[in-house]
């Protein structure tokens, strides 16, 4: 039986989701001079779950994530792709590979950029900076259009949007509410 990873993500306590995301970004954050101890990571997760304003550590994370996302956007732009275009582009249509090794290198680079943009935008949104929240909608829309359900990254995107916009998880119109919230954030 194939594990339901997105279902697992949907069931995580919110502070644990934030902690997992922060740990996923440990190396990228360190390259931007943000090193967090386990107690600092736990505190950020607890604060986010309780909707407390971001502390100094969380603000440092936000600044570093902006750089990580910008770096990943540049990776995709080198292929003339936006995030949404990258999600829709199959690896067989990607330039720059001739051998299997090349293919794997390009695939790794593309997937890493997509994950860092999606997960980074989720974490930023959770930490009170929604400027990249449209990426979360793009991840959700892509999964719904191609698979009819959310994968792990899109489920993280959904949870981030629901939390930031205080939308109940059981709301039938959660996606419409999330779209409206993102639109309002862009206009603010």
Give 80-131 pLDDT, tens digit per residue. Answer: 999 999 999 888 887 877 788 888 888 889 999 999 999 999 999 999 999 9
Q: Is the pLDDT of residue 32 over 60?
A: yes
Number of domains into which the chain is organized: 1
Question: How high is the pLDDT of residue 97?
Answer: 77
- The answer to whether 20 touches 156, Cβ cutoff 8 Å, is no
DSSP line for 123-179: HHHHTT-GGGHHHHHHHHHHHHHHTSS--HHHHHHHHHHHHHTT--TT-TTHHHHHH
Question: How high is the pLDDT of residue 1?
Answer: 47
Inter-axis angle of helices 56-77 and 100-126, to 10 degrees?
Answer: 140
Distances (CA, A) of 150 to 63, 100, 159: 28, 29, 11
Mean pLDDT of 156-183: 96
**Which structural domain range is residue 133 located in?**
5-187
Listed range (6-15, 57-66, 77-86) with the worst mean pLDDT: 6-15
- The answer to whether 62 touches 127, Cβ cutoff 8 Å, is yes
Write the pLDDT tens digit of every residue in 74-91.
999 999 999 999 999 888
Question: How high is the pLDDT of residue 3?
Answer: 60
Write the pLDDT tens digit of every residue in 125-154.
999 999 999 999 999 999 999 999 999 999
């Amino acid at each position: 039986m194939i594990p339901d990873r997105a279902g697992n993500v949907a069931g995580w306590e919110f502070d644990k989701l934030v902690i997992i995301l922060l740990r996923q970004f440990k190396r990228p954050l360190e390259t931007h001079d943000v090193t967090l101890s386990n107690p600092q990571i736990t505190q950020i997760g607890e604060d986010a779950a309780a909707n407390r304003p971001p502390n100094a550590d969380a603000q440092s994370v936000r600044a570093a994530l902006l750089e990580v996302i910008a770096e990943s956007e540049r990776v995709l732009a080198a292929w003339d792709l936006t995030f949404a275009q990258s999600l829709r582009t199959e690896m067989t249509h990607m330039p720059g590979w001739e051998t299997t090794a090349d293919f794997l290198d390009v695939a790794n680079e593309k997937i890493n950029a997509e994950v860092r943009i999606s997960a980074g935008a989720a974490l930023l949104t959770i930490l009170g900076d929604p400027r990249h929240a449209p990426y979360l909608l793009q991840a959700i829309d892509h999964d719904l259009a191609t698979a009819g359900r959310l994968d792990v990254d899109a489920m993280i995107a959904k949870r981030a949007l629901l939390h930031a916009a205080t939308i109940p998880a059981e709301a039938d119109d959660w996606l419409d509410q999330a779209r409206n919230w993102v639109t309002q954030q862009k206009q603010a």
